[in-house]
Amino acid sequence: MIPIDVFKEDIISRENARLFLSLEEYKRFEDIDNIDKLNLLKRLLENPIEEFTEINDLYFRTKWAELVNSIYNKKAITMLEVASGDADMIPQALARSNPNSTYITANMNKILNESLLKKTTNLDLNIKLIDDDASMINNYIKSNSIDMIAFQHGVNDVLQAILCEQNGIDTVNTDWMECLPKMIDLVRTEVENYTFEANVKPIFLNLVKDLVVTLKRDGVIAINHYMFKYDLDLGYPKELFENLIPIIRNWFKEIEMCEEIFYNGFNEQWWIFLKKIV
Ligand SMILES: C[S@@+](CC[C@H](N)C(=O)[O-])C[C@H]1O[C@@H](n2cnc3c(N)ncnc32)[C@H](O)[C@@H]1O
């Protein structure tokens, strides 16, 4: 696979670890042997992810902070994340890189919402949860009010949830991980029947268009993606999982209110950025 990033050991430096990890996490980071730290980073960048350590947290938090700082410096911003689940990379990064920011998450799984709120209680952020489908976003957020919208490994989940809804599978009041095998079966069937794009693209693009309404002019939608080995082992079609960003890049040509922009250091296979131009 194309590595998700160029291997540079600075990203997991002690200085970054002190900044981006909690005390407990920092202690666990320090317990990892220096050679193992480098090997974990290399495996994280060059393979579908199968290990979950402080190196992953440190890498992704540092990367999101680098992105936000490169656009907004240290300013407090309003960030909307879609389909965060209970993954807290973005709020953890934002609290340290841009303290006093407002972090809003639109996420509809009840169990994961509860878990995310627990993980983020003490952060230096104004946190708001929209416990609903992000396609309802305009009921909750004013037009032109958001600086950045993020999907942190969330597009695949949004597409899966669309298929679940079409097939009568509840993803709101259930355990997401228990549903995952069924979701991946659905994705595989759609791909095998050549119906995947026709069934998910219009709904996904409508959701993105509704999200764009909430963005300020010049605001940015930032999307990243990577592969989990677990999903591939469950039968997720590799061609789709690996090329999700190039596929949606093609779909996004239909969104007229935005143009694609690029940032150095963010690989185009795994990241895509849209800027609102109207
Ligand atoms: C596995 S979780 C976490 C994904 C996470 N971003 C990650 O790092 O892997 C997937 C989440 O996406 C949420 N989700 C999927 N489609 C959504 C939508 N249209 N609106 C809000 N949340 C959505 C689900 O409710 C679930 O909480």
- Taking only the tens place, the pLDDT of each residue in 187-229 is 999 999 999 999 999 999 999 999 999 999 999 999 999 999 9
The answer to whether 225 and 245 have CB atoms below 8 angstroms apart is yes
Residues with CB under 6 A from ligand 1: 83-85, 87, 106-109, 112, 133-135, 152-154, 157-158, 161, 171, 176
First to last CA, the chain: 36
3-class DSSP state of 114: helix
Closest by alpha carbon to 94, among 72, 116, 118, 115?
A: 72
Count CB atoms within 10 A of the CB of residue 148. Answer: 25
| Residue 226 to residue 246: CA distance in whole angstroms | 12
CA of 174 to the centre of ligand 1 (A): 13
Strands annotated E in 62-162: 78-82, 102-106, 126-130, 146-152
pLDDT per residue over 96-148, tens digit each? Answer: 999 999 999 999 999 999 999 999 998 999 999 999 999 999 999 999 999 99
Q: Would the pLDDT of 278 be above 90?
A: no
- The CATH number given to 73-276 is 3.40.50.150
Helix (H) or strand (E) holding 271: strand 271-276
3-class DSSP state of 104: strand
Pocket of ligand 1, candidates 107, 139, 204, 228: which has the most ligand atoms within 8 Å of its Cβ, to mutate? 107
What's the rounded mean pLDDT across residues 50-54? Answer: 95
Looking at ligand 1, which atom is closest to the CA of residue 109? 25
